[in-house]
Amino acid sequence: MKILIRKIKKGDGEGIIRCFNEALKRGLNTYTRSNTLSTPEDIKEFDKAFSKPRLNEFGFVAVDKGKNLIAGVCIFSSKGHERIRHIGEISWGVHPDYLRKGIATKLADATIREATRRKFVRIEADIAKNNTASVRLARKCGFRIEGIKKYGLLLDDGRYENTYMFSKILTKHK
């Protein structure tokens, strides 16, 4: 299996949405912010959002070259407002058929390098306490827990899940 990590480009929306929808269908997106399948309109919106380079939002995909399928995605976004313009949020997801192959680590590493290149100072991630794979990945990538959000995520069954507030400082400043 040959996996290529590259920046998201226009036209990737369908593959990215397929990746998330498949995880949702298999019950693996328990800890994501959405619990509904994405639609063709969502694909258009996604492609529109990533059709032009932007300082405050970018991402990477992992492409299975043999099958020409998107196997995972990592997205970085920043509100870009005055006093918090140095902070971004990272999120990731991997197609269920490609789990435990180091793809999320490669995607997160590429995203962190790009955020550093773009002079961001801090990256944040909110991760459900029981999402052990993402907690492990965040720690592996050098993120530290800064706190816990009580009732940070509402699950499909009506239960609330506490979330860790992770951060990673990219560069030291005065």
The full set of domain ranges for the chain reads 3-169
Query: Between 119 and 1, where is the model more confident?
Result: 119
Q: Give the model's pLDDT for residue 29.
A: 67
User: What residues pair up with 70 in beta bridges, in sequence order?
Assistant: 63
Output the CATH code of domain 3-169.
Answer: 3.40.630.30
Q: Give the model's pLDDT for residue 31.
A: 60
Given a cut of 90, is residue 60 above it in pLDDT?
Answer: yes
pLDDT in tens, 66-115: 999 999 999 999 977 888 889 999 999 999 999 999 999 999 999 999 99
- Which of 164, 158, 165, 172 is closest to 121 using CA atoms? 172
Q: Give the model's pLDDT for residue 174.
A: 59
pTM of the model: 0.90
